[in-house]
């Protein structure tokens, strides 16, 4: 089996004039921050930004969860995001009763998996951090989810994610390509992580990508891949039991996705069954009653006796709050959890973050004295 290679990046040449205009706007916006015309706010707490310079999924939520898992027993963690496509406004502090409509699907997913983590949403990140620091038990570290473009906050540590399958150094600015910031913005990162790598990446590939990204001496570069769980989990607790992936061999599988890149999940399921019926929605899709009706009809109209509906973990967070899903669909609705696996220097990455938080806290104590 040959190693999976990144596909050539598709850039629309007809839109390049618009990209030049967009690039000019981004250039002057960045310069206004650099010159101090637009003011950045720095906080007396470690603020770790986890972002990217492209549109589309690079794996911010799984990497945020990875950091939470590594640090949650040592620090009181706060996670602040915009709460993309939520129905609420302003600052919202997540509670066990919060829904994805109130705080967005990523924040809902994190709060559901890590109930002790302080999760909040606010499009105004400065206000959001201030509100979190005014809590009775404020966080000791804040993870700023997708905050790289929000330059009004100056993070103490920046992590930029780049998709292996769409190298940023081959891309173009919006709208011809998918870059929200120029490739030169990578120099702002303390750490760059190439995500979604194939499992059989070789040392020579690490060196080639490192050269192409042009990592600076003050930066760290890591490579991660996604690893799916061996079991499918029910979306609705109590409606069903977890299933091993091997059980898919004899099942009709309706795969429903509303994420940027469903290919990885499709490829994984294809290892266990060839009977996959995909129903693909746009990224961050908010499922409606009409969508539920379509999914239900598609599922119930198949003549197969043994059948299942599989969704992504993010989509599961959107669906679990919906009231108009039939009991029959609930009983057959599963999702496949995903986790981040570092391909090298895993301990080094966590130690860097841990050291940053520890030194920041030490400096705060010395400053207060």
pLDDT tens digits, 276-292: 999 999 888 889 999 99
* CA 231 from centre of chain: 21
DSSP annotation string for 58-72: --HHHHHHHHHHHHT
Whether residue 367 is predicted with pLDDT greater than 70 in this model: the reply is no
Give the Cα separation of 309 and 154 in Å (integer): 43
Instruction: Name 202's Cβ contacts closer than 8 Å, sequence gap at least 6.
Output: 3
- Kindly report the backbone phi and psi dihedral angles of residue 190, in degrees, each rounded to the nearest multiple of 5, phi listed first: -80, -35
Bridge partners (DSSP) listed for residue 234: 334
Q: Which two tokens stand for residue 127?
A: 């206000």
Bridge partners (DSSP) listed for residue 191: 159, 220
29-227+341-364 belongs to which CATH class?
Answer: alpha beta
**Which segments of the chain are extended strands (E)?**
47-52, 77-81, 92-93, 118-121, 141-145, 157-163, 191-195, 220-228, 231-234, 243-244, 252-257, 276-280, 307-311, 333-335, 338-342
Mean pLDDT score across all residues of the chain: 91
Mean pLDDT for the stretch of residues 74-83: 95
E strand or H helix at 205: helix 203-213
For position 185, what pLDDT does the model report? Answer: 96
Q: How many residues does the chain have?
A: 369
Region label for 284, one of left (φ > 0), alpha (ψ between -120 and 50) or beta (otherwise): left
For position 235, what pLDDT does the model report? Answer: 93
- Tens of pLDDT, residue by residue over 296-348, are 999 999 888 899 999 999 899 889 888 889 999 999 999 999 999 999 888 89
- Tens of pLDDT, residue by residue over 203-245, are 999 999 999 999 999 999 999 999 999 999 999 977 678 899 9
Rg (CA), the chain: 21
pTM: 0.91
Give the Cα separation of 30 and 36 in Å (integer): 10
Give the Cα separation of 69 and 353 in Å (integer): 13
**Is 111 within 8 Å of 98 (Cβ atoms)?**
yes
E strand or H helix at 11: none
- Tens of pLDDT, residue by residue over 106-120, are 999 999 999 999 999
Mean pLDDT for the stretch of residues 26-39: 95
**Domain coordinates in residue numbering, the chain:** 29-227+341-364, 230-336
Instruction: Name 14's Cβ contacts closer than 8 Å, sequence gap at least 6.
Output: 176
Distances (CA, A) of 61 to 58, 109, 351, 362: 9, 9, 20, 29
**Is 313 within 8 Å of 226 (Cβ atoms)?**
no
């Amino acid at each position: 089996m040959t190693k999976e290679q990144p596909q050539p990046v598709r850039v629309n040449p007809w839109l390049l004039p618009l990209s030049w205009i967009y690039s000019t706007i981004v250039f002057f916006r960045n310069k206004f921050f650099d010159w101090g015309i637009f003011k950045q706010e720095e906080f007396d707490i470690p603020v770790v930004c986890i972002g990217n310079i492209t549109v589309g999924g690079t794996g911010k939520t799984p990497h945020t969860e990875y950091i939470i898992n590594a640090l949650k027993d040592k620090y009181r963690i706060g996670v602040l995001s915009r709460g993309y496509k939520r129905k609420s406004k302003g600052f919202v502090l997540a509670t066990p009763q919060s829904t994805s409509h109130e705080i967005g699907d990523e924040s809902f997913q994190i709060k559901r998996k890590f109930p002790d983590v302080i999760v909040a949403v606010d499009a105004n990140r400065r206000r959001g951090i201030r509100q979190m620091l005014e809590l009775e038990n404020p966080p000791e570290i804040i993870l700023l989810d997708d905050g790289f473009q929000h330059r009004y906050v100056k993070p103490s540590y920046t992590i930029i994610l780049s998709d292996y399958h769409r190298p940023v150094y081959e891309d173009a600015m919006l709208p011809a390509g998918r870059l929200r910031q120029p490739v030169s913005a990578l120099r702002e990162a303390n750490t760059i992580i190439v995500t979604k790598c194939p499992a059989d990446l070789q040392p020579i590939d690490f060196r080639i990508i490192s050269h192409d990204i042009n990592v600076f001496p003050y930066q760290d570069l890591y490579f991660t891949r996604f690893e799916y769980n061996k079991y499918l989990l029910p979306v609705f607790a109590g409606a069903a039991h977890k299933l091993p992936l091997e059980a898919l061999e004899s099942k009709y599988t309706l795969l429903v996705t509303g994420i940027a890149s469903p290919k990885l999940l499709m490829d994984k399921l294809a290892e266990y069954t060839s009977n996959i019926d995909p129903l693909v929605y746009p990224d961050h899709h908010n499922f409606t009653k009409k969508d539920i009706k379509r999914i239900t009809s598609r599922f119930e109209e198949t003549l197969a006796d043994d059948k299942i509906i599989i969704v992504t973990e993010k989509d599961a967070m959107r669906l679990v709050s919906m009231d108009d899903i039939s009991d029959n669909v609930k009983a057959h609705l599963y999702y496949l959890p995903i986790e981040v696996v570092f391909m090298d220097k895993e301990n080094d990455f966590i130690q860097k973050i841990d050291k940053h938080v520890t030194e920041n806290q030490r400096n705060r104590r010395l400053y207060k004295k």
